[in-house]
Structure 1
Amino acid sequence: MYKNYPAAYQVSKGSALQVDTAFYERIRDRKDRRSLIEQFEVPIRTGRAWKVPAGHVFRVTTPLGPQVGDFNVWNASDPRERLWAARTRQLQGAHVSTHDRLWSNLPFLRPLVTITDDSLASYGIDEHGGRLHDLLGTRCDPYVNRMLTGEDFHHHCHSNLTRAVLPHGLTEFDVHDVLNIFQCTGLNHDDMYFMKACPAQKGDYLEFFAEIDLLCALSTCPGGDLSLPMWGPDAQDPLTVCRPLGVEIYKLEDELLNSWSQPERAAYKGQHGLQIARAEWE
């Protein structure tokens, strides 16, 4: 057994990593203080993009049963700011749940969302080291599929997300590493990435609080619930285990937001030492 070594990035009092848990728990618990303003389903092997105003809550749900979803998120006003999966892994964890945040890329570096509720939070760690809501891996894509199988397939998550964001003025170059919602993953003894069958049941959900105005996109993974292998000697077409995902967007009553303000961009303004280099040239 490995020693449980301390995390590199530690939470200290007053730091940006300290979360006002009482605030987010009020949002979770006071469901009588929210109004559903939009609801839709994302059909199997497709993607959809939508906007969420700052201070609203949205859920990704499993209306018919287990299904993995690949999630991207951007600043709705400036899509150069988007989810930074690698830094989120370091600051929060390789798998996320209630009170964890998804952080944006440089030079912005601020929370885009905070997770307020997770119906699968009790799953924990299974006997193989699997955990839920994965930032370890990334989206399936047609380029790897072609490399591994020699065949073209146009409904991988990368392609679904690309089609979803085109109406919003974005392109394939804006699609980025994802949060794999409802996906159970880990690292095996060879330090290789594994995926397990999704344990979600009908009606499960992951809920987010929008810290800024957001553009979100979600792909219903063509692997469905990942109970069937997509690559390798036992590969099958998992169409029979594909299901839609649901999205619900809620407006909160103003009183719930009294103690909240939108996070500011990163405070660093040091110009990366360029002023020092200029002085040396001169």
Structure 2
Amino acid sequence: MDTPPAAYQGGALEVDRDLYRRIAGADRTPVLDFVLPIRSGQAWEVPAGHLCRVVTVEGPQVGDLNIWNRHNPRERLWASRTRQLQGAHVSTFDRLWSTLPYLRPLVTITHDSLAGYGVDDDGGRVHDLLGTRCDPYVNRMLTGEDFDFHCHSNLVRAVLPYGLTELDVHDVLNVFQRTGLNAQDRYFMLACPARAGDYLEFFAEQDLLCALSTCPGGDLSVPMWGPDARDPVEVCRPLGVEVHRPDPAALAGWSPPRVAAYAGGHGLARRPGSRAGTG
């Protein structure tokens, strides 16, 4: 049976691959390097024109990533629209798009050491936008117990120093996470296929604030819910984060993306003398 074409198509979704290959392959200067312990979160800044890499430093481990415009946190990763424009799982040359009314790339993925993974025999793929972060609210609903180190809580603690709150934490990119939809069209998670040294790297299209959680499920080889659930702490590992400044010459031809060109208004009209929103 023929595969139906993608619903969203157009030149605006095309990427200058030669440009991003040049940026990814350019000489670079390290500007930040840290390791995130298990079951924790940390936020950091990535200036526009820099590269950021998330690394499985000791072996398979899932990380939940949030991204905001550093100067305007209302502009942040829009996971559902990115699923439609790029795919439910992302890899090299895919972009992560921001929310309305901005609708522009936050990052472009420049390297994925798992790019060749493809689709496995279970229908699983990696770097997931299908699901979202684990959180203590669902955990309480399913188990009747409180746990304060789910990805949602890790991200909440991570962004507090930047003046953000729980309301700013949003749907994530699940880095290194292997997922899909089963025959009942329900979400499944399988053991992470990453090995020590695997990484996902992206180019910052604008000044960014990023936050990452080392998922308390670790490599997801142990179920966190259901009849076989147990604490998977033994399969939890740290993640590394690196930020690099590429040779400025490699950025020739690149410029930060503009916000969406739509003029706004939404067809609303205001009659003289009427209150806003009533015309």
Give the shorter-chain TM-score range.
over 0.9
Q: Does 1:22 align with 2:37?
A: no
The whole-number CA distance in structure 1 between the counterparts of 2:23 and 2:251 is 9
Within-5 A mapping of 1:224-235: 224-235=218-229
Moved over 6 A (4+): 279-282
- Residue 274 of structure 1 is matched in structure 2 by 268
Correspondence 1:166 to 2:160: yes
1:189 paired residue among 183, 186, 195: 183
- Are 2:69 and 1:75 aligned? yes
Larger helix percent: 1
Aligned amino acid, residue 196 of structure 2: K
Shift of 1:278: 4.1
CA deviations over 1:93-122 (Å, ceiling 9, x no partner): 000000000000000000000000000000
What is the DSSP-based 3-state SS (H/G/I as helix, E as strand, rest coil) of the residue aligned with 2:226? coil
User: Between Structure 1 and Structure 2, how many residues are aligned?
Assistant: 275
TM-score scaled by length of structure 2: 0.96
Cα-to-partner distance string for 1:105-147 (whole Å, 9 max, x where unaligned): 0000000000000000000000111000000000000000000
1:243 matched to 2:237:
yes
Are residues 1:148 and 2:142 paired? yes
Superimposed CA distance per residue, residues 205-260 of structure 1 (whole angstroms, 9 cap, x where no aligned partner): 00000000000000000000000000000001000000000000001111011110
Instruction: Tell me how far apart the structure 2 counterparts of residues 220 and 3 of structure 1 sit (CA, whole Å).
Output: 39
Quote the residue 1:5 is aligned against.
4
Q: Deviations over 1:27-68 (max 9, x none)?
A: 2223xx111111001100000000000000010000000000
- The aligned counterpart of 2:36 is 42
Matches of 2:234 and 2:254, distance apart in 1: 44
Give the letter aligned to residue 221 of structure 1: C
For residue 135 of structure 1, what is the aligned residue in structure 2?
129
Q: Residue 153 of structure 2 aligns to a residue in which SS?
A: helix
Which residue in the other structure is 1:257 paired with?
Answer: 251
**Equivalences for 1:202-213 in 2 at 5 Å?**
202-213=196-207
- Report the TM-score, using the length of structure 1 for normalisation: 0.95
Structure 1 gaps, min length 5: none
